[in-house]
Structures are given as structure tokens and as C-alpha cells.
Structure 1
Amino acid sequence: MSENREYTGPFHSSSRLDLQADCESCFGLCCVALPFAASADFAMDKTAGQPCQNLQPDFRCGVHNSLRQLGFRGCTVYDCFGAGQKVSRVTFGGRDWRQAPGSAKLMFEVFPIMRQLHELLWYLTEALTFQPANTIHNELSSALDETERLTCLDPDSILKLDVAAHRANVNALLLRASELVRAEALRSQKGPSGRRKTYGRGADLIGAKLRGADLRGANLRGAYLIAADLRGADLRGADLIGADFRDADIRGADLTDSIFLTQAQINSAKGDAATKLPSALTRPTHWSASGA
């Protein structure tokens, strides 16, 4: 299946369905363009631009059903936010890097930039659903349109983008949206007011004992929640953008109305059938009923 595969559907990145990875419409870009090092997440070293040894001629993974058992846990966590199919089918018009080896390097360099832009599209699309942030919906919509425009540029123009500056501008808007949502979440809480534990951006909560914690409306942006015990915790209305959930235990936790949570974060955590997730996210297949 290395021949051209026609992309038959419309591509509207503002739809969250199109911001989810569609590996059938991608040329295995995450398996080639990205480097990884031998670690707990990867069983071997691989340089950027080098095809993974498990990548098949049809761009499928030859060990997809055994990745975690074979030491490729990182592959089961990664999410491109739909950037793979956008680069494959739109930016490069459906012509793969094997057919056109002269464009391979450019394709591999464009992919991680597109991934950043698609991540921003994910956050902006979500922010536009926040009723408490309706006062800034016009600004959010304009930022979404501009980000979408950038994703449709030609490859050379994408490489010249100042993505860091664009991310900073978008993040300022997302932070305003977050503050409005979290303020509303705190106002709507019932019961004794009492003082609540507060956290700032990048809080060090590695291994923290937060079982059953009331974290509604908490600012956990960029928090290090690696191996934290969040069993049964209430994270509704919490801002989780960029939080590191690697091996965090979220069995029975309620994340239904948390904001800016991504599939990759969920994939890296330990959950179970009792973990409540936002409707846009799916329960990882590697979660067992007990979360082991």
C-alpha cells in the first residue's frame, strides 16, 4: 500500500474528530520523523528521519498489538492531534516519502511543527465550548482561524513560522479562558467555604498523595503529577494543560469537566473502568478493569 492513497473526506481541523490521529491516512510519520532513546518507554534508540524497525511497507506498525509488552510504551502514549494525516494528505498532497524521497526530509521537518499547531487547535476548539468564557469567544475564534490558516501553508512557509511566538499568544488566551472557567467552578461548589489548597503552574506533585482530593477548579497547568496517587480525586473544572500524568493513578477519579486534557495525558496514566473522562477522550485499551 505504498501507492498514493486518495484522501476522500473534507479536512476541517476545527472539528475535534479531525484533531484525532487517523493512522490509516498517515504515512507513518511519527514512526519515522521523531527520534527516541532506549528507556522505559522505548526498547531501542532511533534517530529522527530513521524509520522504526517495526514500520511495515503499508505504513502500519508490525507489532501494534504488542507494543507495551515489547517495550514500546511510548508509542501507545503518543498522540499527533491529527497532524500526521494533515501533513500526509494535505500539505504533501498524498504523495508519500517513499514515492518521493526527495521530499522526505522536508516532510519530516514539517510534521512536528504541524503537531504543535494541531495541539493548539485542540485547545482552542475546546475553549470555544466553555460557556463561562463566552466574553472572549470572538478572540478565541480569531485565534482558531489564524492557527488553521497556518496549518494550510505550503511546507517551506511552515518551516519559517515562529511557532513559539504564536503559541505564546494563544496560551495567553487559553489562560484567560481557564481563569473564567475555574472561577465559575469554584463559585458553583456547595458546602463549607473553608480554605483550599492551591497550586501554581508547574507544581511539583511527583508521587503526591492526593487520593480522594477535592481538586475542582484547581490550577494544575504544567504540574508534575508523575506517579501521583489521584485515586477517586475530583478534578472537575481543573486546568490540566501540559500536566505530566505519567504513571499517575487516576482509578476512580472524576475528570469529566476538567479542561485542556488530552488523549496523550490519559494514555500515560493508570486508570480503570471507574475513571470518568471528558466525552472527547477515549478509555485506553491498555487500561485493565483494575487499572493495573
Structure 2
Amino acid sequence: MRAPENLLADCGSCFGLCCVALPFAKSSDFAVDKAAGEPCSNLLEDSRCGIHSSLRDKGFPGCTVYDCFGAGQQVSRSTFAGRDWRQQPSNASEMFAVFPVMRDLHELLWYLADARGRKSTESLHTRLVGEYDELDALTSATPEILMSVDVSVLRSRINELLIAASELVRAEVVGKKKNYRGRDMIGAKLAGADLRGASLRGTYLIGADVRGADLRLADMIGADLRGADLRGADLRGSIYATQFQVNAARGDRATRLPESLTRPNHWA
């Protein structure tokens, strides 16, 4: 699919919400501790990052991995109509509470957009479009309504439809498909593996060697690819893959990605 514009992060249209609303702990991903609602020390007054070009070198690789699915600009420009938390501190607590909810809603929209854009899911298109439109309308709700949303209930309902769509997509691959759903595959040796049409839903692939593997039409939803080696791997047509996942992995110019994703700048 071509990624919907509203689901692509536009940092220039956001008030640095991921740099303020979200907490992080000192680790290999972040050089310091930061509490939720506390502006990152690297955040400038114009909402730009003061070390954006050297985040990895200065101990903040986690920032280069994160993706908000366009929630930042939606909250900044639509939900709060361009009212910056700096100029109107009274908005701050609500804005910071709404942001993670919006991010979850936009992530679900990403999956629905992927599923409805597949020819093989034609029998589910009415339901997929209906869920997408209903969820899209919810993203335009007031802060009060958004803060009352039970995302877990929405996920549970929509996930049933996403699983059905995944089965139709993966059925395009003839023969028996691998099922690693929810499995611990940390550090697994999967170089050159035939994973076409595989279920990798919620699979832990942290640090796994997936070089040159064929992941076409694989279900990638929730797969943890932190540090996974995707050099030369083929993810074209994989379903539910996200920018967040590939940002967290390692890859190179030979790695083939779905049309909706872009090659991370930190890849070789």
C-alpha cells in the first residue's frame, strides 16, 4: 500500500510531543532518565531537536526508532487547533494524555489501511472500510472523549478483523506456512529462511539473524525486530509491517521493504 499521508509523522507540524509527553529510562536507547510530561533537555523552543543529526552518537538511538504514525501533528494541529503547550500551559496535561491514545488509534488505522488495500481481502472490504472510517472519525473527537477511549477494547475488536484479513493475504502463498506467532525467537538463526506467508505476530526476533530471508506476505504485526539483522531480506508485500519495526532493525541497501516504508537513515 501507499502510506496514507495522515499516518506519516510530520515533526515540523508537531509541538515535540514525543519529546515531552513520553517517559524514557537511561539505557542503551537513551542517555538519561526523563519523566512523562518533562521536556527532553535536547528539545528546542521551536520544537526541533537540538541534536537531531547526532542522536545515535550522543546516546539516543531510541529517538531514531520511534514513530508516532502521524499522531503528533493530529494532536497539535487538529485536537488542540495549533495551541502550543508552551504558550498555553493549561492545555499541557490534556495534550500529553491525549497523545499516546492518538498514537494507538493511528497505529490501528495503519493496519486497517494495509488490510483494505489488498486485493485478496476484497471479501472483507466493507468491514475494513467501516472500521477505518469509524476509527478515523474518532481521531477528530474532543480531548475529553479521546481520554475516555479504552484502546484495549478497540484493539480486541479490530484484531479479529485483522487476523481474518491476514489469513486471506497469506493464503496467496501456496503450501504450508511457518507459524511462529508469539514465540521467543530471540537471536534465532534464520538467515536465508523461507518465511513467505509466515505468521510472525508478536514474535520476539530481537537480535535474530534474518539476513537474506524471504518475508514476502508474512504477517509482521507486533513482531519485535529490535537489533534483528535484515540485511538482504525481502519484506515486500509483508502485511502490517511498520516504520517503527524497520527503524529498530538493522538493514542495508539490499533489504527490500514494503512500498509504505522508507529505508532508515542509520542503515548501512
TM-score normalised over the length of structure 2: 0.98
1:5-41 alpha-carbon deviations (Å, 9 max, x no partner): xxxxxxxxx9612201000000000000000000010
State the 1:201 CA deviation.
2.0
1:146-202 alpha-carbon deviations (Å, 9 max, x no partner): 111110110011011111101111111111000111112x22xxxxx6x66x32421
Partner of 1:275: 255
Partner of 1:231: 211
Partner of 2:94: 106
State the 1:228 CA deviation.
0.4
Q: Does 1:61 align with 2:49?
A: yes
Q: Does 1:118 align with 2:98?
A: no
Q: Does 1:46 align with 2:26?
A: no
Q: Does 1:251 align with 2:239?
A: no
Instruction: Report if aligned partners of 2:24, 2:34 keep a CA contact under 8 Å in 1.
Output: yes
State the 1:218 CA deviation.
0.1
Q: In the alignment, residue 189 of structure 2 is paired with which amino acid? A: K
Any stretches of 5+ residues in structure 2 without a counterpart?
none
Partner of 1:75: 63
- Which among 128, 136, 148 is matched to residue 140 of structure 1? 128
Q: 1:150 to 1:222 in 2, by over 3 A?
A: same
Q: Does 1:264 align with 2:244?
A: yes
The number of residues matched between the two structures is: 267
Partner of 2:158: 170
Partner of 1:35: 23
State the 1:229 CA deviation.
0.4
Q: 1:57 to 1:76 in 2, by over 3 A?
A: same
Q: In the alignment, residue 155 of structure 1 is paired with which amino acid? A: P
1:184-240 alpha-carbon deviations (Å, 9 max, x no partner): 2x22xxxxx6x66x3242111100000000000000001000000000000001000
TM-score normalised over the length of structure 1: 0.90
Q: In the alignment, residue 50 of structure 2 is paired with which amino acid? A: G
- Which among 205, 211, 219 is matched to residue 199 of structure 2? 219
- Bigger CA radius of gyration: 1
Q: Using the alignment, how far apart are the partners of 2:71 and 2:222 within structure 1?
A: 18
Q: In the alignment, residue 210 of structure 1 is paired with which amino acid? A: L
Q: In the alignment, residue 286 of structure 1 is paired with which amino acid? A: H
Q: Using the alignment, how far apart are the partners of 2:171 and 2:10 within structure 1?
A: 36
Partner of 1:190: none
Instruction: Report if aligned partners of 2:31, 2:59 keep a CA contact under 8 Å in 1.
Output: yes
Q: Using the alignment, how far apart are the partners of 2:148 and 2:47 within structure 1?
A: 28
Partner of 1:286: 266
Q: Using the alignment, how far apart are the partners of 1:280 and 1:30 within structure 2?
A: 22
Q: Using the alignment, how far apart are the partners of 2:120 and 2:3 within structure 1?
A: 21
Q: In the alignment, residue 20 of structure 2 is paired with which amino acid? A: V
Q: In the alignment, residue 182 of structure 2 is paired with which amino acid? A: G
- Which among 208, 219, 234 is matched to residue 188 of structure 2? 208
Q: Using the alignment, how far apart are the partners of 1:16 and 1:71 within structure 2?
A: 32
1:57-85 alpha-carbon deviations (Å, 9 max, x no partner): 00000000000011101000000000000
